[in-house]
């Protein structure tokens, strides 16, 4: 684990608690609960969490040797299979931990934000499992575009509240959930979806996700007799990233690569307030958003930019403060690949290894394809989520491009239905983080 004090709200200069005063008492209460239940296992909280992760979630997930990719790159490639966790992504580790913690704290109600719905569906599953009422905030345009995830949340018994103000994207959904919390803080817990937000959320979410690297490190030693040379994970808000890195941070011989979404370009359009990427660690500036000082995509005035990625789950203008700090300390290497490379990697992993990855995850494999000579002889890649949720996006985006690797989808022409006839243009935002349900 990275070495830090549970009570210190900062990671170097990053982190902190930049929230309205009305929330501060709840944040102090949460900090106390984090200390007692998560760090000190009071009342056996962590034992119950681990047991439920095993029985309900299906942990541990395997570390699998990737035969075809290993041959292709002449490098031993191991896959940490978080896509096999219940729900199909790493998101459940955090959602289950926080909903269980809310129960221990005596809270009566769960709220969460979601963009395209991945964190929302994980939270809805956890809330149903633990019998807690749950409301999810989601932009109204995303609701229209992500109907299957809305159905999943509703089927699990959660309310879905449309966010109509502003542009109706993920950052508006986070802001709206914070507003709900400022009103209902006395009986409600806000299950934030990534290692973002005010202290103690970044540390707490990391600790719930750290089970990924705890397992992966042991599994790697067991299978290879030592530590890997490199660990790769995609990075949006950063919860799968930090979960995959946490137990390797002190292993300074292991290179840690955070692969961000380069989108369509790393150039920003300051006039329009748009950054056509989500490469916050690579290109962002220090600032304050959603409760934390971190790296942000912002204009020179400090207004937050609209980010973009073909992968909804990476599409966020901020990033976890701990990752920002580890990048400044040269412990984590921030890299990025663009939409095209990620799409190619999506098809390659599907065809070569029989694993359809989330588009978020595909970014990590895109980097491996481009830079496999630089990552050493043994590499662990986190498969943060499965890609079933992305199929419509992938078909639409593939049809716009001339990708040699993509399968021929003209079968639809012969049955009179274009594969993209139901697609709707712009990409939706996803919940922060790199996973997918």
Partner 1 sequence: MGLERAFADEPAFVPYLAAGDPNYEASIEYVEALARGGADVIELGLPFSEPIAEGKTIQNAIVRSLEAGMTPDRFFEFVEELDVDVPLVCMTYYNLIYQYGDSESRSDSENASGETASEGPRPFVEKAAAVGIEGLVVPDLPAEEAGPLRTACDEFGLDLVFIVAPTTKGDRLERMLEQVSGYVYVQARLGVTGAREDVDDATEESLARLSDWDVPKAVGFGIKTGDHAERIVSAGADGVIVGSALVDIVAEGHENGDPVDEVADRLEAKARELKDGALRGAAERPQPERT
Write the DSSP symbol of residue 364.
H
Question: Is 274 one of the binding residues for partner 1 (CB under 8 A)?
Answer: no
Question: Is 272 one of the binding residues for partner 1 (CB under 8 A)?
Answer: no
Q: How far is the CB of 165 from partner 1 (least distance, A)?
A: 5
Instruction: Determine which residue in the list 150, 178, 258, 356 makes contact with partner 1, applying CB under 8 A.
Output: 178
Q: How far is CA 135 from CA 177, 229, 232, 423, in A?
A: 9, 42, 33, 28
The helix/strand/coil state of 239 is: helix
Nearer to partner 1, 203 or 290 (CB): 290
Q: Which residues are catalytic?
A: 91, 113, 384
**Site track for partner 1 across 5-34, x = CB under 8 A:** ----x------xxxxxxx-xxx-x------
Beta strand pairing status for 134-139 and 109-114?
Answer: parallel
Q: How far is the CB of 182 from partner 1 (least distance, A)?
A: 6
- 330: CB partners within 8 A, 6+ apart: none
Question: Is 35 one of the binding residues for partner 1 (CB under 8 A)?
Answer: no
- The rounded distance, in Å, linking the Cα atoms of 14 and 393 is 35
CA–CA–CA angle 364, 237, 291 (5° rounding): 165
Beta bridge partners of 380: 78, 231
Q: φ and ψ at 255, to 5 degrees? A: -80, 135
CA 213 from chain centre, in angstroms, equals 15
Q: How far is the CB of 188 from partner 1 (least distance, A)?
A: 11
Question: Is 422 one of the binding residues for partner 1 (CB under 8 A)?
Answer: no
Nearer to partner 1, 273 or 376 (CB): 273
Question: Is 285 one of the binding residues for partner 1 (CB under 8 A)?
Answer: yes
Nearer to partner 1, 302 or 407 (CB): 302
Question: Is 185 one of the binding residues for partner 1 (CB under 8 A)?
Answer: yes
Tokens representing residue 182 in the block: 């400022």
Question: Is 133 one of the binding residues for partner 1 (CB under 8 A)?
Answer: no
- Interface with partner 1 (CB under 8 A): 9, 16-22, 24-26, 28, 165-166, 171-172, 175, 178-179, 182-186, 273, 285-291, 296, 298, 300-304, 328
């Amino acid at each position: 684990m990275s070495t830090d004090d549970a009570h210190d709200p900062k990671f170097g200069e990053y982190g902190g608690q930049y929230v309205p005063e009305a929330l501060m008492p709840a944040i102090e209460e949460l900090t106390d609960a984090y200390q007692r239940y998560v760090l000190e296992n009071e009342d056996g909280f962590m034992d119950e969490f681990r047991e439920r992760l095993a029985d309900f979630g299906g942990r541990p997930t395997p570390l699998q040797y990737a035969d075809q990719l290993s041959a292709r790159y002449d490098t031993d490639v191991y896959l940490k299979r978080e896509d096999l966790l219940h729900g199909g992504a790493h998101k459940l580790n955090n959602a289950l931990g926080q909903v269980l913690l809310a129960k221990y704290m005596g809270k009566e109600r769960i709220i969460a934000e979601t963009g395209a719905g991945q964190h929302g569906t994980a939270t809805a599953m956890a809330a149903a499992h633990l019998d807690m009422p749950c409301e999810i905030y989601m932009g109204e345009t995303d609701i229209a575009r992500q109907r299957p995830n809305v159905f999943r949340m509703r089927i699990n018994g959660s309310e879905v509240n449309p966010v109509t103000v502003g542009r109706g994207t993920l950052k508006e959904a986070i802001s709206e959930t914070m507003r709900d919390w400022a009103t209902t803080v006395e009986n409600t817990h806000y299950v934030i979806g990534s290692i973002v937000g005010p202290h103690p959320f970044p540390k707490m979410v990391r600790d719930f996700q750290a089970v990924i690297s705890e397992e992966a490190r042991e599994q790697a030693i067991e299978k290879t007799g030592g530590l890997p040379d490199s660990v790769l994970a995609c990075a949006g808000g950063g919860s799968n990233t930090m979960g995959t890195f946490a137990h390797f941070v002190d292993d300074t011989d292991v290179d840690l690569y955070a692969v961000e979404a380069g989108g369509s370009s790393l150039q920003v359009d300051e006039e329009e307030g748009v950054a056509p990427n989500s490469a916050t660690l690579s290109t962002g500036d220090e600032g304050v958003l959603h409760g934390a000082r971190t790296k942000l995509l912002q204009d020179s005035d400090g207004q937050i930019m609209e980010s973009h990625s073909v992968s909804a789950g990476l599409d966020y203008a901020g990033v976890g403060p701990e990752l920002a700090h580890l990048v400044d300390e040269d412990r984590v290497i921030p890299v990025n690949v663009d939409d095209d490379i990620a799409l190619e990697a999506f098809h390659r992993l599907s065809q070569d290894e029989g694993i359809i990855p989330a588009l978020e995850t595909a970014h990590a494999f895109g980097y491996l394809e481009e830079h496999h000579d630089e990552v050493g002889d043994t590499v662990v890649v986190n498969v943060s989520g499965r890609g079933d949720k992305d199929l419509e996006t992938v078909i639409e985006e593939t049809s716009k491009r001339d990708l040699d690797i993509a399968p021929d989808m003209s079968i639809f022409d012969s049955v009179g239905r274009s594969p993209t006839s139901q697609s709707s243009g712009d990409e939706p935002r996803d919940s922060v983080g790199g996973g997918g349900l």
